[in-house]
Amino acid sequence: MKPLSLYIHVPFCRSKCAYCDFASFPGREGEWGRYFEALWGEMEGWRDELSDREVATVFFGGGTPTLVDAGYIEETLARARRIWPFAPDAEITLEGNPGTLTPQKLAVYGRAGVNRLSMGAQSFDDGLLQSLGRIHTAAQIGEAVRMARGAGFSNINLDLMYALPGQTMAQWRDTLEAALGLGVPHISAYSLIVEEGTPMAARVARGEAVVPDDDAVNALQREAVSRLAAAGLARYEISNYARPGFECRHNLVYWNRGDYLGLGCAAHSLVDGTRFSNPATLDGYLSGARRLDQQRLTAADAMEETLMLSTRTTRGLDLAAWSAAFGAPFERGREAALAKLAAGGFIEISDGFLRLTPRGMQVQDAVVLELMEADE
Amino acid sequence: MSYDQSRIRNFCIIAHIDHGKSTLADRILERTGVMKQRDMTDQVLDSMELERERGITIKSKAVRMPYVAKDGKEYILNLIDTPGHVDFTYEVSRALAACEGAILVVDASQGIEAQTLANVYMALEHDLEILPVINKIDLPSAQPEVVKQEIEDEIGLDCEGCPLVSAKQGIGIDDVLEDIVKNVPAPADDADAPLQALIFDSYYDNYRGAISSVRLKAGSVKVGDRIRMMAGNREFEVTEVGAYLPLGYSPKDSLNAGEVGYIAASIKDIADIRVGDTITLADNPAAEPLPGYKPVLPMVYCGIYPADGADYESLRDALEKLRLNDAALSYEPETSVALGYGFRCGFLGLLHMEIIQERLEREFDLDLVTTAPSVVYKVVKTDGETVFIDNPTNLPPVQEIDWMEEPMVDAQVITPQDYVGAIMELCQDKRGTFKDMKYIEGGRVLLKYDMPLNEVIYDFFDQLKSRTRGYASFDYELKGYARSDLVKLDMLLNGEQCDALSIIVHKDRAYPRGRSIAEKLKDAIPRQLFEIPIQAAIGGKVIARETVKALRKDVLAKCYGGDISRKKKLLEKQKEGKKRMRQVGSVAVPSEAFMAVLKMD
């Protein structure tokens, strides 16, 4: 049976963070029930079309999936299991906010089969947390992790953010230390992107917030790589670090272009070589629109995606797999670009893989652009 | 009305820009009834969109207007419109040669301006009767008496009883028309002599082919006649002759001496009709052509390339179409290592160049990359051969050059007294040689300089404008060539020379120019994976250097929830941007960078 990954979007939050431009809609608590009914209906609609699949991973993302009544999560997983068989070792991740976890909820998640928790810690500096508009404190992160452990969860991720306005290297080191001090096996460290239309962007535009320059951001990022590596968490993707065996299999599906079905509002899917997505707004989704922007991927699309996604990982681009999939060696027509990039220390090719060096990863977009087109 | 030379008045209107020439022309058309008021758009004669927008006349046109004067007789008034810009001086001069009189429009508040004088002198050269008209008398700042005095003092024209008008309000238009009838001499041309028709304009009509606008100075011409272009030395059969209406043609049986009109002869190529040439009959030719013909020589050249190489054919078609109506535009295919396939285009001047570039982008929807304009240099080689160079890339190697010459202009600036210092400084900066300074009416000063054309085309207008807050006016005329210490300044990107960025410059200016271009390029070229040294060099010697630092960070941190659409869009955008950049060796250079050479500070 072909593996399938499920992404389930929970578009609810208690409040919107200053930097957030994801599909999340605070103040819509009254619509939880309606939303999940719709989502279950959508899932049911795939029963016939996507039979003969085994669920390998599930990821509840948001929004804040831990905000809604745990029963919704439990019921969603139960219904999924009635449609597809789950692999015995299926990875089931629930994303959440440290401030919204309770022992009661955790008990329900565990019972429902959730075996991985991903918490939006972001920082262990209360001042920075506040400026980001987070609803939790540094202390609550520790409590949440201990609470999760108490409920039997050991596979825990903490999301951290750097390149925050006003963030010093010392603060970032403290945050890394605090996260490592909690003994979690997985950390995601994202550089802040100031998105248009967010309160953060307005603050930056007004000069109230100053984001660090590229060199400072690179220094923060290098600090994460070395500190986390020293603690046994190796970088396996541009923003992701894990102890061996704790890499997020669900996210790896995205980067390896495996099949995934996104359910709920704003969810994206790649199924059998076609990409599509659901309406980005809650209202759009509730109105019943589904599977928008369908794009049947051409070979050229697939090549472009393979290049831009695989080079995010430290495993790199599998040259033999490329030849097999696209009928020509990756290197053909790219000799000059590859030589130039290798000489510049941006890439290396070994054991049949093309990998970006740490330096290359800092400029991954530009490196990919150089390799995008092969000369005839 | 039958043909009677004594009832014909051929005239043009001359004025400084903005003094209301086009508006007065509109009122005259309206008053004589050839245009009904409801048909009038503002400035009928300026039919090109660009002309109306810029308020300038690019091509000349002619209109025939019947007019019953106060003496009860019917006259034929031929208004010949003339271009108003120094780039088109030759066309103005041909249009003037087709007239017996000129209405000189002077703004009642502004008084005489640089172009007023230039036009008057030109009209006097053609022995035209000049009829001053004071316009814009409705403005609160109008001082018609002061301006009249100024005209009498400075130009020596009698302003007694000259029409005081407001073209805008339609005041005094009748006076102008009566003035024309009374004071513009009727033509006195020999209708029985062999045909001599002066071509004062040409353009392309989709149905009739290339058309000559003519003034018959002798003889007559009719459909079926075999005509000969005396300078062009080609023959054609006349398919149609007639007079112009404001918005069309009025075919006639024949055109006779003294008349103004058009001749169509199924001519496919506009280049066969040269403005200033004389048309005669093949089987009864005139002994001599009319005087004054000179081939139009482009003064300014630049490379025009499609931003997207795939548009090369479209660019060629567009240039071909523009060329149909503009014999002064020249173009030759050229290739640049940096820019690929494009054209080296020749223009009458900077405005002409800007207009063509704008029309290409606007009317043909093309995205262009243009190189810095260059003048034509004369190079005398050590082997004695003389070559003319319009593209710096083609300059022979230094060791083969004995000496070089550059085109010089007579430059004339009229400015309020306060700015004399600033202008002298500017002209000095531009390697000008002071010739003369004269105080004229109204606290203004006329300055004359000899100046290299290559300094005029480089940022002179903008500087003049900014240093005199727009009060000074400028006019120039090509004077000839002068020996000069010139060098080729090359730009190197990452050690590779970029041909499209080379310029020829005076040795003394090379260092600051090189430094300024390097700085401009540094800002125009985006950071790339590798550091990019930018060097300005003369021969092999580097005279300035800048560096575009390597890209430090360019990565999307997160591909959330399997939504890779953003990342894809970003890459598409970058790919698109890359396509619009030019590859110079290993460096991607955006189109705008090639214009960096143009700007001073």
Span B504-521, pLDDT tens digits:
999 998 999 999 999 999
pLDDT at B382: 95
Which segment of A226-230, A328-332, B445-449, B583-587 scores lowest on mean pLDDT? Answer: B583-587
Give the pLDDT band (50/70/90) at residue A237: very high
pLDDT at B103: 93
Shortest Cα–Cα distance, B528 to chain A (Å): 8
Q: What is the DSSP letter of A111?
A: H
The answer to whether B554 contacts chain A (CB < 8 Å) is yes
Phi and psi angles of residue A358, each rounded to the nearest 5 degrees, phi first = -55, -40
Give the pLDDT band (50/70/90) at residue B544: very high
Measure the N-to-C terminal CA separation of chain A; round to a whole number of Å.
39
List chain B residues with CB under 8 Å of A95: none
Check B529 against A190: CB less than 8 A apart. no
The answer to whether B494 contacts chain A (CB < 8 Å) is no
Rounded mean pLDDT, A47-71: 95
pLDDT at B55: 45
Q: Each residue of A56-88: b (16+ CB within 10 Å) or e?
A: bbbbbbbbbbbbbebebbbebbeebeebbebee
List chain B residues with CB under 8 Å of A215: 552
Query: Is the model's pLDDT at B43 over the cut of 60?
Result: no
**CA B172 to CA B186: how far, in whole Å?**
23
SS3 call for A309: helix
Rounded mean pLDDT, B140-149: 92
Q: How many CB pairs under 8 A join A and B?
A: 98
Check A59 against B561: CB less than 8 A apart. yes
More confidently predicted of A195 and B118 = A195
Please report how many Cα atoms fall inside a 13 Å half-sphere around the Cα of residue B579, on the Cβ side.
14
More confidently predicted of B601 and B398 = B398
Check B561 against A346: CB less than 8 A apart. no
Shortest Cα–Cα distance, B551 to chain A (Å): 7
List chain A residues with CB under 8 Å of B529: 341, 344, 346, 363, 366-367, 370
Query: Is the model's pLDDT at B437 over the cut of 50?
Result: yes
Strongest mean pLDDT among A194-208, A217-231, B259-273, B327-341? A217-231
pLDDT at B37: 52
**CA A191 to CA B103: how far, in whole Å?**
72
Among candidates A215, A304, A344 on the partner chain, residue whose Cβ is nearest the Cβ of B529: A344
Check B559 against A309: CB less than 8 A apart. yes
User: What predicted TM-score, i.e. pTM, was given to this entire model?
Assistant: 0.70
SS3 call for A313: strand
The answer to whether B567 contacts chain A (CB < 8 Å) is yes
Task: Dig out the tokens for B476 from the structure.
Answer: 């120039």
The domain spans of chain A are: 2-254, 298-376
Q: What is the DSSP letter of B528?
A: -
Which segment of A182-191, A263-272, B47-56, B561-570 scores lowest on mean pLDDT? Answer: B47-56
The answer to whether B568 contacts chain A (CB < 8 Å) is yes
Closest chain B residue to A341 measured between Cα atoms?
A: B529
- AA identity, residue A294: Q
The answer to whether B569 contacts chain A (CB < 8 Å) is no
Strands (E), B422-502: 433-440, 444-452, 473-484, 486-493, 496-497
Scanning B228-287 for CB atoms below 8 A from A yields none
Peptide bond into A63 cis (omega under 30): yes
Among the four given CATH numbers 2.40.420.20, 3.30.420.40, 3.30.70.1400, 1.10.10.920, the one describing domain A298-376: 1.10.10.920
More confidently predicted of A196 and B90 = A196
Rounded mean pLDDT, B177-186: 95
How do residues B365-412 score in pLDDT, each as one tens digit? 998 988 888 999 999 999 999 999 999 999 999 999 999 999 999 988
Which of B528, B529, B565 has the most A C-beta neighbours within 10 Å, making it the best mutation to test the interface with A? B529
Percent of chain B with pLDDT over 70: 91
List chain A residues with CB under 8 Å of B565: 268, 275, 277, 293
Check B564 against A305: CB less than 8 A apart. yes
Among candidates B554, B562, B574 on the partner chain, residue whose Cβ is nearest the Cβ of A254: B562
Among candidates A59, A217, A308 on the partner chain, residue whose Cβ is nearest the Cβ of B567: A308
List chain A residues with CB under 8 Å of B561: 7, 9, 59, 61, 262, 266-268
Rounded mean pLDDT, B265-292: 90
Query: Is the model's pLDDT at B42 over the cut of 60?
Result: no
Which of B527, B555, B559 has the most A C-beta neighbours within 10 Å, making it the best mutation to test the interface with A? B555
List chain B residues with CB under 8 Å of A270: 562
The answer to whether B586 contacts chain A (CB < 8 Å) is yes
Within 10 angstroms of residue B45's Cβ, the number of other Cβ atoms is 20
Shortest Cα–Cα distance, B584 to chain A (Å): 15
Check B558 against A365: CB less than 8 A apart. no
Give the pLDDT band (50/70/90) at residue B56: very low
List chain B residues with CB under 8 Å of A239: 557-558
The answer to whether B558 contacts chain A (CB < 8 Å) is yes
Shortest Cα–Cα distance, A62 to chain B (Å): 9
Which segment of A190-199, B236-245, B326-335, B555-564 scores lowest on mean pLDDT? Answer: B555-564
C-alpha distance from residue A258 to each of A52, A275, A306 (Å)? 16, 12, 11
Strands (E), A216-301: 234-237, 240-242, 260-263, 268-271, 274-277, 292-296
**CA A173 to CA A224: how far, in whole Å?**
8
> How far is C-alpha A207 from the chain's CA centre?
30
Strands (E), B59-174: 62-68, 74-80, 101-107, 129-135
Check B571 against A308: CB less than 8 A apart. yes
The answer to whether B462 contacts chain A (CB < 8 Å) is no
List chain A residues with CB under 8 Å of B556: 193, 364-365
Which of B549, B551, B563, B569 has the most A C-beta neighbours within 10 Å, making it the best mutation to test the interface with A? B563
Which segment of A59-63, A191-195, B54-58, B413-417 scores lowest on mean pLDDT? Answer: B54-58
Q: Which residues contact B407 (CB under 8 A, 6 or more apart)?
A: B299, B375, B376, B377, B452, B453, B454, B478, B479, B480, B481
Architecture in CATH of A2-254: Alpha-Beta Barrel (3.20)
pLDDT at A65: 96
Check A214 against B553: CB less than 8 A apart. yes
Please report how many Cα atoms fall inside a 13 Å half-sphere around the Cα of residue B208, on the Cβ side.
21
Rounded mean pLDDT, B31-36: 75
Helices A138-150 and A169-181, axial angle in degrees (round to 10): 20
Query: Is the model's pLDDT at B60 over the cut of 50?
Result: no
SS3 call for B5: helix
Mean pLDDT of chain B: 86
Shortest Cα–Cα distance, B525 to chain A (Å): 15
Closest chain A residue to B563 measured between Cα atoms?
A: A268
Task: Dig out the tokens for B300 from the structure.
Answer: 């300014």
**CA B412 to CA B476: how far, in whole Å?**
6
Task: Dig out the tokens for A132 from the structure.
Answer: 């980001």
More confidently predicted of A148 and B31 = A148
**Is beta strand B74-80 parallel, antiparallel or unpaired with respect to B62-68?**
antiparallel
Give the pLDDT band (50/70/90) at residue A323: very high
Check B529 against A370: CB less than 8 A apart. yes
Percent of chain A with pLDDT over 70: 100
Please report how many Cα atoms fall inside a 13 Å half-sphere around the Cα of residue B120, on the Cβ side.
20
Which of A17, A213, A313, A365 has the most B C-beta neighbours within 10 Å, making it the best mutation to test the interface with B? A365
Check A308 against B529: CB less than 8 A apart. no
- ipTM, two decimals: 0.80
The answer to whether B188 contacts chain A (CB < 8 Å) is no
Within 10 angstroms of residue A188's Cβ, the number of other Cβ atoms is 21
Shortest Cα–Cα distance, A363 to chain B (Å): 4
Query: Is the model's pLDDT at B131 over the cut of 70?
Result: yes
Give the pLDDT band (50/70/90) at residue B308: confident
Among candidates B556, B565, B578 on the partner chain, residue whose Cβ is nearest the Cβ of A369: B578
Query: Is the model's pLDDT at B57 over the cut of 50?
Result: no
List chain A residues with CB under 8 Å of B586: 340
**CA A75 to CA A40: how far, in whole Å?**
9
Check B568 against A305: CB less than 8 A apart. yes
pLDDT at B597: 67
How do residues B70-129 score in pLDDT, each as one tens digit? 999 999 999 987 765 556 667 777 888 999 999 999 999 888 876 677 778 778 878 999
Query: Is the model's pLDDT at B134 over the cut of 70?
Result: yes
Check A269 against B528: CB less than 8 A apart. no
Strands (E), B71-166: 74-80, 101-107, 129-135
The answer to whether B561 contacts chain A (CB < 8 Å) is yes
Mean pLDDT of chain A: 95
Among candidates B530, B557, B561 on the partner chain, residue whose Cβ is nearest the Cβ of A191: B557
pLDDT at B1: 52
